[in-house]
A and B are shown apart, each in its own frame.
Chain A
Amino acid sequence: QSVLTQPPSASGTPGQRVTISCSGSASNLGSNYVYWYQHLPGAAPKLLIYQNYRRPSGVPDRFSGSKSGTSASLAISGLQPDDEADYYCAAWDESLSGRQVIFGGGTKLTVL
């Protein structure tokens, strides 16, 4: 099955800027939008970025997304303690198995 690859962990200090990468292939990021989620323990995942770079209303502009070719990234500026969470990228994938949605493995962000 096709995969989206994320680093398992990332860290930063308050106020810093951190980026989380998401690497895919032509069948997913190369031809479809990327979406980013923040997941806090015990809560439902929250959509941070949709269609590569758009932010839903209510999401601070400290969060930004970009995509180039088969790679995408989520940037968080002005890091805050409340940003400590798991972050996932997701995208449609067009493979031999048909159309499916795939998630990255997740990145655990630690605010030091």
Chain B
Amino acid sequence: EVQLVESGGGLVQPGGSLRLSCEASTLTFRSFWMSWVRQAPGKGLEWVANIRPDGSQRHYVDSVWGRFTISRDDARNSVSLQMTSLRAEDTAVYHCVRDWDVWGQGTTVIVSS
């Protein structure tokens, strides 16, 4: 069973940066689209970004375009989300998702002064 484990969350000031990482426990990671989905406190699920298996396509929700970058390293079975110029509204639990079906438990990002 594929398991995804996120890390890198924490408390950061507005305007700051964080890098989230997600690692997979099996080799079935590399053939799939990988995504980041977040849930702000009291809100619903919001897709943030995804990346094609070969890395040739990356897509972002409008609100993070130009601030967040998704990348993958299939040799290490990992996907990352580099977040810059963070805003209070980026505060959320961030989940790593394989294709549509396997979700990590999430890592919490809090943007606050």
Contacts and interface: CB of A to CB of B under 8 A. Distances in A.
Contacts of B61: 1, 100
A44 B103 CA distance: 6
Q: Is the interface of A mostly helix, strand, loop or mixed?
A: strand
Contacts of A46: 103
Interface string A28-52: 0000000101010001111100100
A88 B95 contact: no
Contacts of B45: 37, 39, 45, 88, 90, 103, 106
Contacts of A90: 45, 47, 100
Contacts of A50: 100-101
Contacts of A102: 47
Contacts of A44: 95, 103-106
Nearest to B57: A99
Interface of A: 1, 35, 37, 39, 43-47, 50, 56, 86, 88, 90, 97-106
B95 A45 contact: yes
B101 A101 contact: no
B35 A101 contact: yes
B94 to A, nearest CB: 12
A103 B46 contact: yes
Nearest to A101: B47
B59 interface: yes
